[in-house]
């Protein structure tokens, strides 16, 4: 590192090569130990730790010894070798120490709201209020360093693939991303508002129309959404990309190379090599009960509605005849579980909304279970053939409307795998979910509506829109999933105005709506648009997986809490009357309903 008046070396730089040298190191007092009158201090900076020693002969030992942890201090002294019994092989600087000659306090430290070292559990809101302290902790600090390194690597890989980085506007207009916008009032245009971008979707497509071939950016996106463990409220970042003259296969090839190399380089597990598995959406919903399946779980859900429709189990038979579906979840090797375990699974599924949980076990050469008495040998044989059940296995059954049954079976698949330790370890399992339906029926109006992204190209183009049942039309639309976490959705875009008008027409919108809502894009497409498509893997989720964190806030430098508050800077905050007046705004607080006593 570059030496200056505060330090000649970092706290992770000194080795035996520096023995005998007089050096200066600066950082925070990480830990202190007094061994028989000899004071040992672990000094910490961004790079690591160095042990400094203050002997009783040093006239400043008492003063130094009474400085609190986290004081910022500069030490100058000689580099000496540690004795053999004091060598710390876990530290890069573990073979040396610095014998202090002089010191200088660079920053005093008052009472700490929580310790930095040792790291102890404390309420998240307290951690976020003092985030600058929290970021000093080794684990969180490493996460932010990892984030920086991953982003730098992503940039280099995108450049290697011929992509050009372009920054798109932050102050823009609302886009049809499906979430609530953050609005910014305009001072110079009273009554009008900018919107912070939920994604650079229209801009990146317009860049393709503008003649640029491959675009990317580490894009900030803003959505007024509730927090989840894998989603931060307010803002997030994505590796946003778009390619002109590209097919779905072209887009997959770039992403598979970038993601596999990123996870291989920075991850703690073995990453799948390209090509990634491709699973059609309907197959994913049937086999895994989810469009973001965790392929580390080898359990596959089976369709057994026809079997139960003709069975003596009238609860399922009547439901199937009324349109419900039965999903079977075959689980290997768990027939030895006690009855209490099955009761626990039943209770957990009921908390997910299941009306009940039926099951059969194959144990000691017999088939057993609460529903056995309703099934004859022929139906048992059909179940065995459909589920590949064998000695030691259990097959669970759930019955409900198709979407609900799929969701419940998917939740059961994951829950059972967690309970029985059936999740493959040490791997990142990637897959593409492809062939999403272009349209679906709106549950409230029973009318055709877009199922996902209205700007996706329908498979079959205009011919499909004109000749097929809309509910059978598939889109060039895809999700990338790793270990059950969706990193991103993407699509080959509908760049043909006549096809776009027709797609919106099937969803109940006339051309005037398209012209009004998406004026910039549809007008651009009328002036020569190339085929194009893209995707935008989430950077925050990527880092969360690579660092093996369960909460996305652990990989963001200054995150909001679950209430969308940034406690350290007290955001959001009230605007002053002057600010409101400049923006031509008045605010009315919602009425508060008095408590009923």
Q: In the structure, what pLDDT confidence band is assigned to residue 595 with cuts at 50, 70 and 90?
A: low
- Residue-range definition of the domain harbouring residue 314: 297-423
Residue 551 predicted with pLDDT over 80: yes
Report pLDDT digits (tens) over 559-578: 999 999 999 999 999 999 99
Last residue of a domain, one of 376, 403, 423: 423
Q: Flag whether 223 is in a domain.
A: no
Does 256 map to a domain? Answer: no
Mean pLDDT of the 84-109 span: 96
Number of separate domains in the chain: 2
Q: Is residue 361 in a domain?
A: yes
Identify the weakest region by mean pLDDT among 89-98, 194-203, 511-520.
511-520
- Domain containing 357 — which CATH number? 3.30.1360.30
Q: How far is CA 206 from the centre of its chain?
A: 27
Average pLDDT, stretch 458-465? Answer: 98
Average pLDDT over residues 92-104: 98
Q: Is residue 587 part of a domain?
A: no
Q: What angle do CA 451, 454, 460 make, to 5 degrees?
A: 90
Q: What is the pLDDT of residue 580?
A: 94
pLDDT tens per residue across span 471-489: 999 999 999 999 999 999 9
Reference 575, options 185, 4, 274; nearest CA is 185
Residue that terminates a domain, selected from 375, 403, 423: 423
* 355 in a structural domain: yes
Q: Is 69 within 8 Å of 115 (Cβ atoms)?
A: yes
From 423, 453, 487, give the residue that closes a domain. 423
Residue 594, pLDDT > 60, answer no
The per-residue pLDDT of the chain, averaged, comes to: 95
- The whole-number pLDDT of residue 229 equals 79
Predicted confidence at residue 179, as pLDDT, reads 80
For 319-390, where are the E strands, in sequence order? 325-331, 358-363, 366-368
On whether residue 327 sits in a domain, the answer given is yes
CATH number at residue 90: 2.40.50.140
Task: Give pLDDT tens digits for 147-172.
Answer: 999 999 999 999 999 999 999 999 99
Q: What is the spatial distance between Cα 18 and Cα 475, in angstroms, rounded to a whole number?
A: 64
In tens, the pLDDT along 265-285 reads 999 999 999 999 999 999 999
pLDDT, tens digit (0-9, with 9 covering 90-100), for 211-264: 999 999 999 999 998 888 788 888 999 999 999 999 999 999 999 999 999 999
Q: What is the pLDDT of residue 227?
A: 82
Cis peptide before 572 (omega within 30 of 0): yes
Coil/strand/helix, residue 102: strand
């Amino acid at each position: 590192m570059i030496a200056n008046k505060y330090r000649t070396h970092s706290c992770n730089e000194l080795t035996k090569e520096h023995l005998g040298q007089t050096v200066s190191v600066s950082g925070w007092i990480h830990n202190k130990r007094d061994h028989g009158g000899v004071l040992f201090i672990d000094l910490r900076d961004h790079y690591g730790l160095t042990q400094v020693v203050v002997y009783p002969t040093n006239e400043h030992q008492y003063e130094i010894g009474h400085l609190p942890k986290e004081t910022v201090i500069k030490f100058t002294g000689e580099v000496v070798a540690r004795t053999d019994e004091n060598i710390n092989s876990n530290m890069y600087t573990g073979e040396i120490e610095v014998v202090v000659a002089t010191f200088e306090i660079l920053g005093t430290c008052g009472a700490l709201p929580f310790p930095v070292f040792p790291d102890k559990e404390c309420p998240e809101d307290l951690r976020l209020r003092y985030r600058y302290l929290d970021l000093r902790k080794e684990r969180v600090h490493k996460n932010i360093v990892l984030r920086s390194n991953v982003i730098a690597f992503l940039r280099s890989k995108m450049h290697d693939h011929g992509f050009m980085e372009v920054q798109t506007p932050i102050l823009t207009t609302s886009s049809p991303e499906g979430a609530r916008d953050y609005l910014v009032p305009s001072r110079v245009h009273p009554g009008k508002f900018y919107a912070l971008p939920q994604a650079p979707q229209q801009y990146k497509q317009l860049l393709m129309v503008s003649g640029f071939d491959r675009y990317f950016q580490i894009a900030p996106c803003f959505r007024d959404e509730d927090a989840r463990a894998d989603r931060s409220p307010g803002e997030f970042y994505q590796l946003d990309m778009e390619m002109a003259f590209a097919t779905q296969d072209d887009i997959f090839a770039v992403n598979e190379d970038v993601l596999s190399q990123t996870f291989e380089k920075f991850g703690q597990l073995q990453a799948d090599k390209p090509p990634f598995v491709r699973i059609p959406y309907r197959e994913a919903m049937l086999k895994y009960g989810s469009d973001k399946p965790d392929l580390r779980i080898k359990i596959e859900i089976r369709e057994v509605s026809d079997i139960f429709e003709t069975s003596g189990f009238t609860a399922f038979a009547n439901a199937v005849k009324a349109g419900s579906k039965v999903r079977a979840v075959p689980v290997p090797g768990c027939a030895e579980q006690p009855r209490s375990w099955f009761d626990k699974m039943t209770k957990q599924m009921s908390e997910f909304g299941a009306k009940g949980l039926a099951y059969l076990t194959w144990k000691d050469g017999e088939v057993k279970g609460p529903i056995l008495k309703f099934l004859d040998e022929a139906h048992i044989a059909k179940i065995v053939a459909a589920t590949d059940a064998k000695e030691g296995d259990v097959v669970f059954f759930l019955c409900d409307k198709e979407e609900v049954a799929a969701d419940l079976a998917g939740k059961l698949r994951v829950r059972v795998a967690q309970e029985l330790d059936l999740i493959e370890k040490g791997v990142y399992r990637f897959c593409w979910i492809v062939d999403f339906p272009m349209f679906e029926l709106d549950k409230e109006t029973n009318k055709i509506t877009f199922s996902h992204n209205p700007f996706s190209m329908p498979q079959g183009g205009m011919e499909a829109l004109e000749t097929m049942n809309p509910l059978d039309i598939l889109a060039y639309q895809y999700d990338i999933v790793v270990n059950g976490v969706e990193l991103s959705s993407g699509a080959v875009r509908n760049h043909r105005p006549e096809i776009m008008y027709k797609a919106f027409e099937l969803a109940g919108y006339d051309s005037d709506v398209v012209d009004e809502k998406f004026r910039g894009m549809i007008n651009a497409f009328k002036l020569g648009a190339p085929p194009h498509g893209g995707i935008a893997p989430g950077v925050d989720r990527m880092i969360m997986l690579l660092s093996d964190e369960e909460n996305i806030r652990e990989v963001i430098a200054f995150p909001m809490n679950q209430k969308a508050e940034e406690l350290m800077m007290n955001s959001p905050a009230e605007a002053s009357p002057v600010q409101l007046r400049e923006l031509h705004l008045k605010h009315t607080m919602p009425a508060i309903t008095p408590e009923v006593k």
